[in-house]
Amino acid sequence: MKTLLIIDVQNDFMPGGSLSVAGGDKIVPIINGIQHKFDLVVATQDWHPKDHVSFASNHEGKSAFDEIELQGKPQTLWPDHCVQDTEGAQFHPDLKTQKCEAIFRKGTDKYMDSYSAFYDNQHLKSTGLAGYLKEKGVSQLFLCGLAADICVYYSIYDAFKEGFACFFIEDASQALDPEAFKDIKEKMVNLGIQMITSEGI
- Closest alpha carbon to 131 in 102, 110, 107, 152: 102
Beta carbons of 149 and 177 less than 8 angstroms apart: yes
Beta carbons of 164 and 26 less than 8 angstroms apart: no
Identify the active-site residue in 80, 106, 158, 166. Answer: 106
Identify the active-site residue in 82, 144, 151, 166. Answer: 151
Beta carbons of 100 and 88 less than 8 angstroms apart: no
Give the integer Cα–Cα distance in Å for 63 and 23: 24
Give the integer Cα–Cα distance in Å for 7 and 48: 15
Identify the active-site residue in 8, 80, 113, 120. Answer: 8
| Start-end of H helices in 65-152 | 129-135
Give the integer Cα–Cα distance in Å for 28 and 70: 33
Beta carbons of 83 and 50 less than 8 angstroms apart: yes
Give the integer Cα–Cα distance in Å for 10 and 194: 25
Annotated active-site residue 100? The verdict is no
Give the integer Cα–Cα distance in Å for 173 and 23: 9
User: Which element (helix H / strand E) includes 46?
Assistant: strand 40-46
Annotated active-site residue 166? The verdict is no
Active site residues: 8, 106, 151
